[in-house]
Amino acid sequence: MKFPYGLSDFGTLIQEGYWYQDRTDRIASLEQAGKQLIFLRPRRFGKSLLLSMLEHYYDLNRADRFETLFGHLAVGRAPTALRNQYFVMKWDFSLVQAHGEVTDIEAALHQHLNDRVSAFRQRYAPHFTSPIVIQPDNALSSWESALSAVSQTPHKLYLFIDEYDNFANEVLMADRDGSRDRYEALLYGEGLLKTVFKAVKAAAGGLGLDRVFITGVSPIVLSDMTSGYNVGENIYLLPQFNDLCGFTAVEVETLLTRLSAEGAPWSPAEALATMRTFYNGYRFSEDASESLYNPTLSLYFLKALGQQGQYPRRMLDENLAMDRNKLLYIARLPQGEDLLIEALSGDDRVLIPELVQRFGVEDVLRAIKDQPFMASLLYFFGILTLAGEGILAKLVLRIPNLVARGLYVERLRERWLPVSPQREVGQRAAETLYLRADPTPLCDFIEAGYFAVLSNRDYRWSNELLVKFAFLTLLFDDRLYMAVSELETARGYADLALILRPDMRRFQALDLLLEFKYLGLKELGLTGEQVRGQSRETLAALPAVAAKLDEGAAQAAYYGATLRERHGLKDLRAFAVVALGVERLVWRAC
């Protein structure tokens, strides 16, 4: 099987025999949904391939290739009346440079639009009876010339706009002086981007443009354009389009079964469990009943299985590294890092009354912790996802999977423990736990200074949560482990489980489970100096500490039994860890 990882041209994919998950059965529904559609999904979630498929379907120049391209697909067996009836033009705003001054960005936008109009003129030249004139310094004039030529033919235009918000968001999120001013100059007043969408809106009012399909990541730009484009119909939350992009569990399982039939040296069941942990979990509609697998990451994984016969070494495709910049952007906003903490804490702590679907940059910059703006933005970025309803019908948002969780941990680790000899000491201490089931060096490292780093930050920590974050940020290593905080078991949640990836069991690392408890110094009746002056053995023997260790050990034993059965673990090492204030750590193997 040939997997189209990184391939977004539908024609190439079909003609060269790549695997394609058929979504052409949705074409009729899309036609019925409206004539100007807006469809938002996170980066690299298959939007460009979707647009390419629609381009090939509606393009009148490709009518003679319909059977070759679509005959074996769902729409080939039941085509709509609009197949191959349009001139098609595509704008891709990810190709517009986002650096430089406003005049540089505007010039790049003019150039891109002119390039698209020029290609359009060349591709459909035999159909036109009047010339399309390209105005080098005014792409909107070129656009009007193209519309004029289209209006003199029996056909109309279908405009596709891919990543409509890409360069505008890049301008907004750039860590440079004046980036916000440049963003506002493009979007507010008579800014060029707003003017471009006003021209699209006008063209759909009887000037030859019949349909528009727009993709992007977030609705920020739509909101800031206000009247520039207020005619689009948002379909991204509709349940019938939840899986328009992305793969279902059945589809992934079917693929793994087909691959394993070719004599694969890996287990389909283990591969499915691994993909579920790392890549599944996305829901884009409040009414959707099924979560989705990230398609780019899934193809990345499946291609490695098909070509190398083994899992990829890194479960995070580095082509998704830009998502780190989005988390950095959120972390810099007022109370932004607090939101990352809440999301990573588990227990479904991120609750919002409803998703904010139209919000401008001013809303984001002014958002405070109890407002839903930033949580909704993280949803659109694909770093939070819908997870049902909570109290008072509020929406629950959670981190979708382990890849996304890794981005959070990495972001916080970089802020709390910058690259330094100290980080290397922490890494060696973590490896001692991985290899020897000895938490002593890690506890020593956390006591020696890491507690101070965390406790001095302005967070509303619960004390047990502080302990968990200290261990989580130091132990998270998705090269080896499925490191899961708040891993759900039959009757509760394990605090931190480090389960070896199936493909890494050939190494000596151990499966680990940690349960955390906290005792304040007042509960102990001791001062910080007294606690620091006693050995761990002496502290562990104190009645209050022993009781907490017993409690943690009982939970670890219960959760451990569940995990052993679920994952077939033969040598799971479990620990109860009790923090005494933010001074000392004591632990017991269970």
Q: In this predicted structure, what is the pLDDT of residue 34?
A: 96
Alpha-carbon distances of 45 from 50, 106, 173, 215, 360, rounded to whole Å: 10, 28, 21, 11, 23
Q: In this predicted structure, what is the pLDDT of residue 104?
A: 92
Q: In this predicted structure, what is the pLDDT of residue 487?
A: 59
Q: In this predicted structure, what is the pLDDT of residue 176?
A: 65
The pTM score is 0.90
Per-position b or e across 491-518, b if 16+ CB within 10 A of its CB: eeebbbbbbbbbbeeeeebbbbbbbbbb
Nearest to 253 by CA among 212, 210, 298, 213: 298
Asked if residue 339 has pLDDT above 90, the reply is no
Q: In this predicted structure, what is the pLDDT of residue 347?
A: 66
Query: What residues are paired with 496 via a beta bridge?
Result: 485, 514
Q: In this predicted structure, what is the pLDDT of residue 486?
A: 56
Q: In this predicted structure, what is the pLDDT of residue 103?
A: 92
Architecture per CATH, domain 10-241, reads as: 3-Layer(aba) Sandwich (3.40)
Q: pLDDT above 90 covers what percent of the chain?
A: 61
Asked if residue 66 has pLDDT above 60, the reply is yes
Rounded Cα–Cα distance for residues 107 and 458 (Å) = 44
Q: In this predicted structure, what is the pLDDT of residue 221?
A: 86
- What confidence tens digit (pLDDT) does each residue in 242-273 have? 999 999 999 999 999 999 987 778 899 999 99
Rounded Cα–Cα distance for residues 280 and 297 (Å) = 10
- What confidence tens digit (pLDDT) does each residue in 167-201 have? 887 877 776 667 778 888 888 888 899 999 999 99
Q: In this predicted structure, what is the pLDDT of residue 243?
A: 96
Segment 283-303 shows an average pLDDT of: 93
Q: In this predicted structure, what is the pLDDT of residue 498?
A: 94
Segment 343-364 shows an average pLDDT of: 81
Asked if residue 366 has pLDDT above 80, the reply is no
Asked if residue 358 has pLDDT above 90, the reply is no
Mean pLDDT of the chain: 89
Q: In this predicted structure, what is the pLDDT of residue 383?
A: 87
Segment 526-542 shows an average pLDDT of: 95
Instruction: Give domain limits for the chain.
Output: 10-241, 249-310, 321-416, 417-590
- What confidence tens digit (pLDDT) does each residue in 402-460 have? 988 888 888 888 888 877 788 899 999 999 999 999 999 999 999 998 888 887 765 55
CB 437 within 8 A of CB 512: yes
- What confidence tens digit (pLDDT) does each residue in 373-386 have? 888 888 998 889 99
Per-residue confidence band for 490, with pLDDT thresholds at 50, 70 and 90: low
Segment 557-571 shows an average pLDDT of: 88
Beta strands 481-489 and 395-398, pairing class: unpaired
Per-residue confidence band for 368, with pLDDT thresholds at 50, 70 and 90: low
- What confidence tens digit (pLDDT) does each residue in 302-332 have? 999 999 999 998 888 776 655 677 777 777 7
Segment 332-345 shows an average pLDDT of: 80
Per-residue confidence band for 492, with pLDDT thresholds at 50, 70 and 90: low
SS (H, E, C) 463-509: HHHHHHHHHHHHHCCCCCEEEEEEEEECCEEEEEEEEECHHHCCCCC
- What confidence tens digit (pLDDT) does each residue in 137-156 have? 999 999 999 999 999 999 99
Rounded Cα–Cα distance for residues 351 and 343 (Å) = 10
Q: In this predicted structure, what is the pLDDT of residue 320?
A: 62
